[in-house]
């Protein structure tokens, strides 16, 4: 190992752990220091709202790497530690406790944190946010403890938690100011499919209304809606989005705008400093804009790429955004990036929840999703990446092979 080079990775998330892996894969022989605020090895988050929450999977199985990986690859994993300041001029980071770490290159993988509910009663006992393994285990115990569960926010986290709570046998109410779940991402037609899915599985839906207050004496007991209704609740889960952790980057003088701005190589405005995962707003050549993607696959793959580039490679990150979700008996995968105003074409049946959906603008497909239809995601990626103008009728026709569209 070459001691005169140090790669500092801030954030022992999936992106941070994969950045360390990516650097070693690329042949980096310098010192690697991976700093994480949590008191445990890096782990993956998608199971936290699903099978870990339901107790169907041991939380230990979510680890990014085996226990001996970091020592075997000469990666100094500092858990329970925080980087307080980053001095780019001196190429030095100051940790809590006063320790300093000098670096030659760095990767910021500080992730995001749940958006807090700025309402009276939000600090009562029984109000939960879901971001960490500890959050998931604590919430699972609370749901299994009995009582009514109110989920505030019908995005991905809220929808998955509502489904898991119902699968655990809890009475669940799902609340969102939008008239349909996931409407901001999926639009009205797909949002209606998810509304029907939750309704059929016994979730009480309070859509098109917000929350003004949480009530209780010491512990939450009620959720007061903006239309005046009061929903009893023994457990409240808040899933109203996340905020990228950019404070460290901003105080170091890096450019930030809804995340840390990086180019197609994941390099920030400071040469030799990279960012990856939920915190990175990365230039995407296919969409000709900066994208900040809050999904596991993005953190994993951007982390590998940022680590390799910090080690000396110069590879553009061109992967399409990808994510998946499981709710009840519905499984789906989504690839690409759609925007408001894109048109929707459905191949299959929204009512039967077995379909492929295409979002397009003037026939150019921006994103695609398969729902309970499997082994097609590579074809969908090829269709989106190809950028060819498609006939919407052919997109909708199940007789037209996907490979022909690609």
How many other C-beta atoms lie within 10 A of the C-beta of residue 228? Answer: 8
Q: How confident is the model at residue 3 (pLDDT cuts 50, 70, 90)?
A: low
Alpha helices for 227-269 (secondary structure H):
247-251
Q: Which domains does the chain have, with CATH numbers?
A: 2-112+244-310 (3.50.50.60), 116-240 (3.50.50.60), 329-405 (3.30.390.30)
Residue 172 has what pLDDT? 98
What's the rounded Cα separation, in Å, for the pair 41 and 13? Answer: 9
Q: Is the confidence at residue 1, as pLDDT, over 60?
A: no
Cβ distance 216 to 234 under 8 Å?
no
How much of the chain is in helix, strand and coil states, percent to nearest 5? 25, 35, 40
How many other C-beta atoms lie within 10 A of the C-beta of residue 404? Answer: 9
Residue 97 has what pLDDT? 87
Q: Is the confidence at residue 91, as pLDDT, over 60?
A: yes
Question: How does pLDDT run across 53-63, given as a tens digit for each residue?
Answer: 999 999 999 99
What's the rounded Cα separation, in Å, for the pair 122 and 100? Answer: 37
* Among candidate residues 245, 39, 19, the one with its CA nearest the CA of residue 7: 19
pTM: 0.95
Question: How does pLDDT run across 26-44, given as a tens digit for each residue?
Answer: 999 999 999 999 999 999 9
Residue 267 has what pLDDT? 98
Residue 43 has what pLDDT? 97
Q: Is the confidence at residue 110, as pLDDT, over 70?
A: yes
> Burial level of 100, CB count in 10 A (0-12/13-18/19+)?
exposed
Q: How confident is the model at residue 142 (pLDDT cuts 50, 70, 90)?
A: very high
Averaged pLDDT, 164-189: 97
- More confident of the two residues 190 and 4: 190
Residue 2 has what pLDDT? 58
Question: How does pLDDT run across 277-322, given as a tens digit for each residue?
Answer: 999 999 999 999 999 999 999 999 999 999 999 999 999 999 999 9
Residue 221 has what pLDDT? 98
Question: How does pLDDT run across 188-222, given as a tens digit for each residue?
Answer: 999 999 999 999 999 999 999 999 999 999 999 99
Averaged pLDDT, 85-95: 97
């Amino acid at each position: 190992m070459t001691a005169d080079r140090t790669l500092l990775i801030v954030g022992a998330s999936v992106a941070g752990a994969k950045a360390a892996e990516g650097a070693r894969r690329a042949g980096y022989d310098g010192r690697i220091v991976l700093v994480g605020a949590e008191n445990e090895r890096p782990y993956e988050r998608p199971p936290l709202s699903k099978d870990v929450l339901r107790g169907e999977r041991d939380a230990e199985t979510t680890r990014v790497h085996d226990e001996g990986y970091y020592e075997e690859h000469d990666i100094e994993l500092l858990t329970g530690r925080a980087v307080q300041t980053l001095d780019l001029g001196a190429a030095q980071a100051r940790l809590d406790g006063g320790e300093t770490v000098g670096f030659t290159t760095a990767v910021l993988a500080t992730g995001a944190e749940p958006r807090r509910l700025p309402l009276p009663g939000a600090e009562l006992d029984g109000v939960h946010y879901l971001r960490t393994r500890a959050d998931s285990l604590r919430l699972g115990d609370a749901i299994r403890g009995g009582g009514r569960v109110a989920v505030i926010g019908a995005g991905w986290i809220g929808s998955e938690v509502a489904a898991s709570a119902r699968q655990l046998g809890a009475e669940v109410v799902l609340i969102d100011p939008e008239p349909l779940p996931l409407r901001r991402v999926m639009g009205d037609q797909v949002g209606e499919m998810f509304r029907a899915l939750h309704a059929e599985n016994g979730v009480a839906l309070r859509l098109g209304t917000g929350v003004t207050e949480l009530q209780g004496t010491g512990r939450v007991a009620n959720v007061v809606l903006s239309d005046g209704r009061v929903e009893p609740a023994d457990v409240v889960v808040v899933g109203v989005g996340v905020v990228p952790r950019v404070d460290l980057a901003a105080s170091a003088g890096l450019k930030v705008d809804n995340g840390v701005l990086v180019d197609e190589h994941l390099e920030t405005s400071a040469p030799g400093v990279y960012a990856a995962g939920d915190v990175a707003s990365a230039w995407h050549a296919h969409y000709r804009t900066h994208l900040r993607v809050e999904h596991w696959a993005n953190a994993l793959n951007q982390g590998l790429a940022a680590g390799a580039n910090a080690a000396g490679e110069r590879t553009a990150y061109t992967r399409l955004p990808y994510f998946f979700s499981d709710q009840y008996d519905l499984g789906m995968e989504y690839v690409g990036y759609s925007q408001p105003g894109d048109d929707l074409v459905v191949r299959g049946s929204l009512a039967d929840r077995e379909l492929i959906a295409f979002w397009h603008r003037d026939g150019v497909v921006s994103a695609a999703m398969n729902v309970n239809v499997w082994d097609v995601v590579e074809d969908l990626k090829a269709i989106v990446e190809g950028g060819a103008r498609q006939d919407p009728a052919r997109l909708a026709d199940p007789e037209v092979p996907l490979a022909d569209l690609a």
